[in-house]
Amino acid sequence: MTDIYAIVPIFLIIASAVWAILAYRRDTGSAKPPKTQDEISLVRNASQATVTWTHVATSLGGAVTISFIGLIYRDGTFMLAIGISFILGLLIYRAILPVVYERFHSNPNVSSFEEYLSCESSVLLFFVSCVNFFIFFLLTTAQFTAAYLLFDWLGIDYRIPLLIILMAIAGSYVAYGLRGVFLTEKIQVVAVCAWLLVLIAYCLRFSSVESIAQLDIMYLSGLANGPVVLMLALILFPLTAIARSDLWQRSFSCSSHEQAQGAISRLMIVMAFIYALMGVVGITIFSLNPDLSNYNNAAYTVLDSSNPIVSLLAVTGILAALVSTADSSLNLTAVAALNIRKAIMGNRAPQKAYIFYIVSLALILICIFFLILNDVDLGSVVLLASTAGALLLPTLGALVLIKEPLIYSKVISIIFGAMAAIATLAITGDATIAFIPGFFVSLIVVGLGWRVEPSFGIAKIGSGE
């Protein structure tokens, strides 16, 4: 029976890949893949409905529907509060969206969020792209790690071949650029709903106020990691939404900033419900089974309490959730690699951009595959990826609020912020707080640069300077 749990969902995902290729040919009149970096990283004039679907599909991946349940199982309402606070970040994102959107589209030489942040400086483009490469490489790793853990939980002997197949399928979507990613996400969201329905049924069946009320007060109060950490996390984590390239990539694809704001508003409603549901599920699982050896498997215990048909639907939904975020993150990782190449090569970068994009996809997937085989911790990977965007917050804030480019201050802020984050992680070993010092160091450097940075010559993108 466990074979069916793997084979049927994989077959459905393959079918959706074939459908996406046919739909791509219908929409473009050709089966040829995109050629330019603009076509790879952006979809011009997408409808509000399409962008809303893809926002939801990307947000309902393994980071939320699998890892977030495990993190709540481990840390209680501390993680639930951080998740719900992300909605506040989306409110701030929605407020600054018109300004950023109009500036982005006023520059015909810009096709990605990294290029927008770089202010036409190849040096800044390099470091911003490195941060985004780190973020989305880890997010892609998280999706496939969750799939590997799922196959392991189900006791499937050929989980490694299945993982390779899943990675190849996601790569086939991404080979057609962002448009290829967009085309599959409506199907994926429908499949993810099956998993969400199973979770709702699980809560209705097993969750009770009495059993939850008996849990430790620190677990339920959100103070499991201390009040200072909670306060700093609630301040910082919502702000990371502002620096999320996946959100901006989709917003920039809308035909107007009003439509982009409408898509974000719908995403906020969906995610408020999802975070609340994941919180109830995680706490319920902890109240029933507090002694799991690996908190990352908490979500998969739901399968043990379901009948075979329901479990099959749930596994299909889980894999759809993982692929829906994996393809988007994989695209953004490869786009970041393209921008690193662009920062280094200058005017020569447009040549053979698509070939470099495909080679990057292959190398990224190979690296992720071997990383997963070394038993990476899913929760830590998600936390690091979700908070690393804090390094870019001062850069984006300065770009929106300050007229001066402050190129060197921004570059130094990213370098020093990354060093502070690495030092914090090495000393504490806690991925939850690693980027809190990094953010404040970056903020201080940009603040000082605003006051003291003189006017230097700025290397332009593509100038070769």
User: Has residue 20 been placed in a domain?
Assistant: yes
**Tens of pLDDT, residues 110-124:** 888 999 988 888 899
Put simply, whether the predicted model's pTM sits higher than 0.75 gets the answer yes
Report helix, strand or coil for 254.
Answer: strand
The number of distinct structural domains making up the chain is: 1
Asked if residue 453 is part of any domain, the answer here is: no
Q: How sure is the predictor about 16, in pLDDT bands with cuts at 50, 70 and 90? A: low
Domain contains 301 = yes
- Distance CA(60)–CA(143), nearest Å, equals 11
Confidence label for 457 from pLDDT (cuts 50, 70 and 90): very low
Is the predicted pLDDT of residue 268 greater than 90, yes or no? yes
Rounded average pLDDT over 176-182: 78
295 DSSP 8-state letter: G
Q: Is the pLDDT of residue 255 over 70?
A: yes
- Is residue 427, in this structure, part of any structural domain at all? no
Residue 400 CB coordination number (10 Å): 12
**How high is the pLDDT of residue 2?**
55
Six-digit token string for 271:
């995610």
Residue 459 located in a structural domain: no
Q: How many residues does the chain have?
A: 465
Q: What is the pLDDT at residue 327? A: 86
The residue type of 426 is: A
Is it the case that residue 463 has pLDDT exceeding 70? no
Exposure pattern of 9-38 as b/e (b: 16+ CB <10 Å)?
bbeebeebbeebbebbeeeeeeeebbeebb
- On whether residue 407 sits in a domain, the answer given is no
Please, where are the H alpha helices in 77-213?
Answer: 77-105, 113-117, 122-153, 159-174, 177-206, 209-213
Q: Which pLDDT does position 460 carry in this prediction?
A: 43
199 within 8 A of 57, measured Cβ to Cβ = no
Reported for 28-37, long-range contacts at CB under 8 A and 24+ positions apart, including other chains, are: 28/179, 33/175, 33/176, 33/177, 33/354, 34/176, 34/177, 34/179, 34/354, 35/353, 35/354, 36/350, 36/353, 36/354, 37/111, 37/112, 37/335, 37/338, 37/342, 37/349, 37/350, 37/353, 37/357
pLDDT at 461: 40
The encoded tokens of residue 368 equal 């992720």
- 443 assigned to some structural domain: no
Checking if the pLDDT of 27 tops 70, the result is no
Task: Work out the average pLDDT over 347-366.
Answer: 79
The more confidently predicted of residues 308 and 347 is 308
Q: What is the pLDDT of residue 420?
A: 94
Which CATH number goes with the domain that contains 315? 1.20.1730.10
- Residue 65, pLDDT above cutoff 50: yes
Query: What is the domain range of residue 9?
Result: 2-380
End-to-end CA distance of the chain: 61
Cβ pair 253, 44 in contact under 8 A? yes
